[in-house]
Amino acid sequence: MADSPSVTFAADIRSGSKAESSMSSFESFQFQRAGSRIGTPAGVARVSTRRSASERFGSLCDLRDEAARFVYINDAERTSAPPARLPDNSVHTTKYSVLTFIPRNLYEQFHRVAYVYFLILAALNQVPQLGVFSPAASILPLAFVLGVTAVKDAYEDWRRHLSDKTENSRTASVLVGGVFRPKRWKDIQVGEVVRVVANETLPCDIVLLSTSDPTGVAYVQTINLDGESNLKTRYAKLETIPTPPEALAGVIKCEKPNRNIYGFLATVDLDGRRAVSLGPSNIVLRGCELKNTTWAIGVAVYTGRDTKVMLNSSGAPSKRSRLETHMNREIIVLAVVLVLLCSIVSLLTGIWLGDHSDEFGVIPYFRKRDFSSNDPDGTYKWYGASAQVAFTFMMGVIQFQVMIPIALIISMELVRVGQAYFMVQDKHMFDGKRQAKFQCRALNINEDLGQIKYVFSDKTGTLTKNRMEFRCASVHGGDFSDTDGGDGHSVTEEDGVVLRPKTAVKTDPKLVALLKDGAGAKADSARDFFLTLATCNTIVPIVIDGGTADPGVRLVEYQGESPDEQALVYAAAAYGYTLVERTSGHIIIDVFGTRQRYEVLGLHEFDSDRKRMSVIIGCPDKTVMLFVKGADSSMFGVIDKTINSDLVQATEKHLHSYSSLGLRTLVIGMRELSQAEFQEWQMAYEKASTALLGRGNLLRGVAANIERNLRLLGASGIEDKLQDGVPEAIEKLRQAGIKVWVLTGDKQETAISIGYSCKLLTREMTQIVINSHSRDSCTKSLDDAISMVDKFQSFSTDSQARVPLALIIDGNSLVYIFDTDREEKLFEVAIACDVVLCCRVAPLQKAGIVDLIKKRTSDMTLAIGDGANDVSMIQMADVGIGISGQEGRQAVMASDFAMGQFRFLVPLLLVHGHWNYQRMGYMILYNFYRNATFVFMLFWYVLYTGFTLTTAITEWSSVLYSVIYTAVPTIVVAILDKDLGRRTLLKYPQLYGAGQCEENYNLRLFIFIMMDSVWQSLAIFFIPYLAYRKSVIDGASLGDLWTLSVVILVNIHLAMDVIRWNWITHAAIWGSIVATWICVMIIDSIPIMPGFWAIYKVMGTGLFWALLLAVTVAGMIPHFAAKAFKEYFTPSDIQIAREMEKWQDTHDVTHPEVQMSTVVRV
């Protein structure tokens, strides 16, 4: 991070350290070089420039006093004094307390408009003139739904509370009164000095003051922070190491808390001395573990909620599913129907009141004369006919309120939880190598997985393993790609123990011979080439005891943040340049059995702006060398091409060849620094690193100024192998009608080669390449692409014979396109192509490509990636998936779902996505149908009771209908039912198109089920009405018959649509009918209820049972007929596949989910 420097000094490192004592053993080796000799420089500097300004979240601005935090070492009271008032180290991930739970939870729940709607209705029902239900009955449905959600939220928060309590009660060693004493984590304050021992977890963010290593180096593991298991090096400043912690005093001026876990900008002033800069290599964050270091001491700078891990603990961004958005359209239609029904009742009420206005004095329901009063003109509270019409409208809204299903929202939440459980438990999406299950981080978009049309994928770490393997090298114009030379070199220790790199690398015998015995410029370049690979990195060598069965052999594991660096260092070791030790000030390399010590005088880490990394090394022969490695696009701009133009051309040719094979390439260069050049650089760096304003830009200028006029050494080719099953997975997705776009930062040749390997590109495709270096050429290329697309579309009228097209575009062209507002033309070309491959794209460009599709189509988009550079793309897409791979957990933390392999996308979309969409679509429509049937039945009754909004159904049955009587079956079916089996869905990926075409939920189906509900309500009401209209049956008995009829009918309707039965489904559907019967009997057994004993009387007649059967048969005839007609005469693909599933032999259906072969099939 260019804004976050750190500096150490070689003279101080050497003095008084054990490293000095070993110096003499390396001085005997004289590495002959041409050039001048200078004394060992006094300055050692480390410049960290890992991320560009566009990628940082914190450390973006200069460190001004008003934007800084002042931490007084060993003085927590002064540090936290007003106006600072810094928080303690306790963490609270809970949302509620005992006092705030009820009000805050209700406030959050009432953000749903539907809940506000039902609350208003419940309040209106409390008005005497509008009282359709009793107060308790009107509140029960809403209270039930709120209560269930509150219990769920309370349980989740209680678990968070227990976790917080455990975390806050842990103890750490804190300096108190000059002695380190145990102290609970939650009591640690900013400014206190903390001591951590090996394998302990850090309680807060600390700036290192000293470590058990004399040079101040500490090794930490950040797996709890970002998921990376490789060790990272952190350093204490040399100015703080000699002073005992109890005697240390000073002030740290650091940036205010921010979320950037990779950035830190600060200075430390020790008792009036000059300010020393602090950077990300000097801070260790809460949650990290100390490894391979006996102890480390640091001062707390961020505690509690201010720590970076807590600032990054927010969940994934909230997204709404497409199905839920469409559902609102139908809810609006139902609201219009509700208003229409109430308006009809109110209009008819007004007409009736007008016709009987002269009878109001004696009509019982409307009687306005009070004959019990002594006053002959006494009346009841009569507000007039107009007011009565208005009251009728509002009472109608209360009576018919279930037209908008209150239970649907919580039913959808429960169903999504059930669906997520089965996705997480799916063994076909379990990553055995990492022992990682599928993660469902966002529960509200499960059904969107069944409607994806575009997949935007990263390449490195997503399609590939991100486990690099060194394959070939171009050295001094020569190509060395023959790997028949064995597994490389081993190192023998003084005690006879053999050190062997953990990862073997095949070597080229010619290159090995050149390194050992060669002479001349080519041999010197080869030695400098591998010396660069061994030194220009941040790799930490770790010797593993007991790693082999042979006690005389130990393994050396190279750990670092970059898999590319690991592969290069393993390659250097295989060719005889073995990195065996690293400290903050020096590294030791075994060169074919001879150990050499190199002083690390400066290090410019890789960043995405410069796209290169450099190290300044003090060699054993007292020369100072600058070694640089980086991308060819940045390196050839700083290479001195006048030295040997033929060498540059040969290297460029080899780079093109390596890229065509799908290899990742790096260019290696170097130059010798004179004493004057080094001292100039050192002075410029010290000035830049201590600047309070513009430090980041100054440091970037220093790095760019030294990295120039390099001598080209060669280039490397690293293979990043495809993940298992990627070609087959992409083929399945394409067969399912899903367009796969790959967005990568790699070179065009590398991306195209990988495209062929993973079956993204085929030989039959016509490639449209847009690779421009100016606005005009980009505009012309885009116009030519549109012409080509139009030409091919005019030639290919038959979709089956259409020539497949592939668009290949680079990042520079995208910059010109987005800057000149030509996105519309790019969109026209892109959607006409079967494949889009974007090369050399920046993170924000990835998000821009996703947004290009989202803004201009209604198709669902999915983005999948594994690194921090994929976060913006993942958050932009409708569905974001993070791969828990080698690049940390930033993508996972920003995603909606997370998994271990790209191939898991096939069962996730084609199986679970299809099931989730089909189930959720049916459940929403069924809820609409179920409630509409009940409301229409009530409406028919109102038409025969003088439009008075009385009802024969008891108020408790009315409010329990959608909450208890019919809720469980639809939830169970939406979780467990499957229209097709897994093997069928994987064998025929085209079946996924049902979700893309919205076959399971659309306006046509909604209209159909509403028509069905009208018919069934007519059957439920009029068949019993016609049978009993001349009898003396009471209203309560008739109401019980209607209640049982509607519950039986809607459950039979559901049962007819169930495809796969199991005992849970049987228990839910038939148990719901039994439970309704029991509830009706209990209600009618209560003497104070108006229908006391009614059900027992009516059940004793044969007509009652005959009517139940007649209602069921008559009500189901249209649904059964329509279902039979559609399946036999106009079956869908899914229905045809279902019939194949029924009758086809199971052995013929067997088909692997994703074949585990990465062989390219052309």
Which residues have a catalytic role annotated? 458
Residues 916, 922, 928, 933: what is their CA dihedral angle, to the nearest 10 degrees?
Answer: -150
Which strands sit side by side in the sheet containing 577-582, from one edge to the other?
478-480, 464-475, 711-722, 663-673, 624-630, 612-618, 594-604, 586-591, 577-582
Which DSSP symbol is given to 659? H
Tokens of 387: 């007011």
Q: What sign has the CA pseudo-torsion 242, 247, 252, 258?
A: positive
CB 645 within 8 A of CB 475: no
Nearest to 975 by CA among 322, 412, 407: 412
**The pairing of beta strand 553-559 with beta strand 498-501:** parallel
The owner of tokens 């019939």 is 1139
Burial class (CB in 10 A: 0-12, 13-18, 19+), 1041: buried
DSSP 871-893: HHHHHHSSEEEEE-SSS-SHHHH
Instruction: Give the Cα separation of 1101 and 1117 in Å (integer).
Output: 25
Q: Which runs of consecutive H residues, i.e. helices, occur in 45-134?
A: 76-79, 101-109, 113-125
Buried b vs exposed e over 807-816: b needs ≥16 C-beta within 10 Å?
A: bbbbbbbbbb
Q: What sign has the CA pseudo-torsion 780, 781, 782, 783?
A: positive
Helix (H, G, I), strand (E, B) or coil at 446: helix
Residues forming a β-bridge with 71? 252
Nearest to 708 by CA among 599, 614, 602: 614
Rg of the Cα atoms in the chain: 37
How many Cβ atoms from other residues are within 10 Å of residue 857's Cβ? Answer: 13
The owner of tokens 């006919």 is 385
* SS3 track for 853-870: HHHHCCCEEEEEECCHHH
Q: Prior bond to 83 cis, omega within 30?
A: yes
Which DSSP symbol is given to 174? E
DSSP 365-388: TT--B-TTSSSTT-B-----HHHH
Tokens of 355: 């016709």
Instruction: Give the Cα separation of 854 and 832 in Å (integer).
Output: 16
Distance of CA 772 to the CA centre of its chain: 33
Which DSSP symbol is given to 237? -
Instruction: Give the Cα separation of 988 and 1137 in Å (integer).
Output: 9
CB 740 within 8 A of CB 455: yes
Helix (H, G, I), strand (E, B) or coil at 740: strand
Nearest to 862 by CA among 921, 811, 905: 905
Please give the backbone phi and psi of residue 560, each rounded to the nearest 5 degrees, phi first. -165, 175
Instruction: Give the Cα separation of 574 and 1132 in Å (integer).
Output: 61
